[in-house]
């Protein structure tokens, strides 16, 4: 049974500005260590960070009615084939179906929450 749907969009420049202003403190407040380690610095660094931030926001929107979570309670990772998936710090009985995309200026994520059967 679908428990909720969430979508979020972020301008890549906002992520770049946040990192320039707060640096590693920002990363530590928003992302888990494993997430940051998996994102290679380079040409697409800010797009990838922004996409994961948007995904976290989309997940929170999809499940916020039943499970209040912080950004750090959610990890957005990739499977071996590159597909994104959501991992929670604790089991909350929800599966998340996630889609993420980014282009030069924007990152967008959509999350569909389904109660585990």
Contact present, 49 and 19 (Cβ < 8 Å):
yes
Strand partners, 75: 87
Alpha-carbon distance of 53 to 89, in angstroms, equals 16
Model confidence over 16-71: pLDDT tens digits? 999 999 988 999 999 999 998 888 777 889 999 999 999 999 999 999 777 888 99
3-state helix, strand, coil in the chain (%, to 5): 40, 35, 25
CATH architecture of 2-115: Alpha-Beta Complex (3.90)
pLDDT score of 103:
92
Domain boundaries, the chain: 2-115
The β-bridge relationship of strands 74-78 and 84-88 is antiparallel
- DSSP assignment, residue 78? E
Contact present, 98 and 45 (Cβ < 8 Å):
no
* Lookup: tokens for 5: 């749907």
């Amino acid at each position: 049974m679908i428990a909720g749907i969430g979508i979020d969009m972020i301008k890549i420049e906002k992520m770049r500005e946040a990192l320039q202003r707060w640096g590693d403190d920002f990363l530590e407040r928003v992302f888990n260590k494993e997430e940051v380690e998996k994102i290679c610095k380079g040409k697409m660094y800010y797009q990838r960070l922004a996409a994961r931030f948007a995904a976290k926001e989309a997940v929170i929107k999809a499940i916020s009615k039943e499970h209040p979570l912080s950004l750090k309670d959610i990890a957005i990772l990739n499977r071996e084939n590159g597909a994104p998936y959501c991992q929670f710090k604790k089991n909350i009985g929800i599966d998340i179906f996630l889609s993420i995309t980014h282009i030069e200026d924007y990152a967008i994520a959509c999350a569909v929450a389904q109660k585990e059967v």
